[in-house]
Structure 1
Amino acid sequence: MPVLDFNHAAGRLPGPVACALGLILLLLLLVLVPLYQHLNQQNQVLQQQWLARQSASRSAPVVQLAPISPALQAELTQAQAQIATPWLPLLHDLERAQQAELYWMQLAPDAKRKLVRMTVLAHKRQQGWALVERLRQQASLAAVKLNSSESTEVNGERMTSLQLEAAWQF
C-alpha cells in the first residue's frame, strides 16, 4: 500500500501582539458586563419613579379659582394690551431715522396713549429738524412734533437738546 502524504502547512500559534490584544479585550469585557448590569438596574428604578410621578400628576386634584373681579379683569386687559404692543417695529422705525451725529438721551413710550417721547442731543439745531422730518416719513409714526429745543453745553461742546413727541399707529 502506498503511503499517503498530506501536503498541509503546520499550524502556528498566535504571536504575542495578538495574545495581548485578546487578553485586553477579555479584561475589558469582564469590566463592562457588571457596569452594564448596574446601569440597567438604575434605569429600571428611574423608569419606575417616572411612572409613579406621572400617575400622581394625573390624579392631582383640580384647583378651582375664585371668579375674577371686574377691576382685576380691567387691569388684566390693560396689561395684555401693553404686552401686545409691537415694540420691535416701533424701535426699528426709530433706528431707521437715527443719524450718526444725534444722541438719543431718553426714549419714553406710553402704551396707554400710544405716544413716545424722546430727548435727543444734536450738534446743530438743523440736525434736530432733519430728525423730525425723517420721523414724519416713517409709516408707523404720526403727529410727530418738536415740543422744545434748547442750547446746552455737554463736555465742553455746545449742543442742542430737543424734546420730541410722536404717536404710533399699530
Structure 2
Amino acid sequence: MNVAARVDPVTAWQQALAAAIPDLHRHCRDPWMLIGSAAARLAGAEVAVADLDVLTSVRDADTLIGHWQARRDETWVPPSAERFRSRFARFLFPGLPVEVMGGLELCGERGWKPVRIGEVVTVDVAGLAVPIPAVVEQIRVLESFGRPKDLQRVALLKQLSRERP
C-alpha cells in the first residue's frame, strides 16, 4: 500500500520562516516584510500558506538573489505577471518556496504604482522577529490586488478585525 506522506502546512511555513528570516535580517539593508498569505496567517487569519512573499527594496532583492543563487528556481513564472512587476525571484527553501519582490508595483487604472505599506507590525515566531503589514494595511493592499485569492483573504482579515477590535 502506497501512502503519500502528509505535510503539515504549519510546519512547512514555519520551517521556511526559520530558514529564511535570519538571512533577511542579516542581508537586507532596507525595511522588508512578509506580505500575502504568510502575513495574513501571522496576523491570525486561518489561511493556507503556499509560499513566503517577501517585499523588499530592489537593492535588497539583488543582494538576496546573489546570496541565495543556489536555491533559485529559474523555471517559475509568476501568475498575473501582467498586473505586477518587481525585481522578482523565487527560491526553494525547506518547507515552502520564498518569493522576493523588490520594488513591487501594481498596474491599475492609472498605470504602474508602487505597492506601499504604511503601518508595519512585528510578530515573534519562535524567537524570530517577522515584520508584516498591520491588518488594515493588509486589507487595503489585498483589495488593490483584487484577485479571488486576495479577496478571500480580505474577508478573513475583516472577520478577524471584528473578532479582535
Same fold (TM over 0.5): no
Structure with larger Rg: 1
- Structure having the higher helix fraction is 1
TM-score (norm 2): 0.31
